[in-house]
Amino acid sequence: MDSHNMDMNMMEMNSCQSWSYQAGDSMKALIEVTKTDSDDHKKKSRRIEYKTHNAIYYTMRFLFECGYKLKANPITIATASVISHRFFKEFDTGYDKYLIAATSLYIAGKLKDEKYKLRDVINVAHQTLHRGSSPLDFREEYFMRRDAIVQAELLIMRTLQFRISTPSTHKYLLHYLSTLKTWLTKEIWETVPLCQSSFAFLQDFHHDPLVLEFAPQNIALGCIHLAMQCYGVDVPCIPETDDFCWFTVFYQHAKKDDIWQVIEAIMDIYNREEQSPGNAKNF
């Protein structure tokens, strides 16, 4: 980013126009599985030139990529995405999306005791937006970006009224999977990657602002049900009716329509066509 654009962004920031359960062993094991899947996905993913895109989907892709590079816990990345979605729900336009995403990751790291060095966050964000660039030296450009993140952190926290927390969906997912394990045969549980797939669906769903609109119980059940549908797994001895399904046992307010809405929203992420390039700002 050239110095003129950075100066403009800082002026906009100052005017508030553009910048504005500790896990148990089971959760840790599933997190490690999710990290492995994330690493595999990262190796297969194509490189995106984020500067040519301004859609929220690419903002979340940017956040996830930065999180992977910082070796962030998957739940930390999910927390950061929720922070970003909540902020953009309040302020739809006029803010540098990539700055907000990087700052959300920095905040989530503090919340989850993964206190990344601010310098690392700045350089990872910079090199992800500007492919092939060198790390920033302690010069004017670096300090301008550091100040931008500090200002953006205060803006986000005040916008969210200092109310941030870890999403509860992962805990529900773990609880449901732990119970489901006792219902399925040992062969199915050990050969069908229900845990990995369910967690992957949940992480990917955090690319979409709709993750804020559904009950966390329904999201967790939707991810599991989608994984079961993908691998043709049925829960034994539980007949399905219009008013009752296996997931009703876990969450009495769960309805088929709600679960399928979650599944459709997740599938839409995978089916979404690439957005037309927009005029993204250059954090």
Q: Are both 3-159 and 169-271 of the same fold?
A: yes
Does domain 3-159 fall under CATH 3.40.50.720? My reply is no
H or E stretch including 47?
A: none
Say how far apart CA 26 and CA 32 lie, in whole Å: 10
CATH of 169-271 given 3.50.50.60, 3.30.110.40, 1.10.10.10, 1.10.472.10: 1.10.472.10
CB atoms within 10 A of CB 32: 12
pLDDT of residue 213: 96
Domain ranges (residues) in the chain: 3-159, 169-271
Instruction: Name the nearest CA neighbour of 199 among 226, 221, 222, 170.
Output: 170
Question: pLDDT (tens digit, 9 = 90+) per residue, 58-84?
Answer: 999 999 999 999 999 999 999 999 999
pLDDT of residue 20: 30
pLDDT of residue 84: 97
- Residues lower than pLDDT 70 in the chain: 1-46, 93, 239-244, 273-283
* DSSP per-residue codes, 94-117: SS-HHHHHHHHHHHHHHHTT----
Q: List the structure tokens of 156.
A: 């986000």
Q: What angle do CA 280, 154, 83 make, to 5 degrees?
A: 60
pLDDT of residue 91: 86
pLDDT of residue 271: 82
Q: List the structure tokens of 230.
A: 């993908």
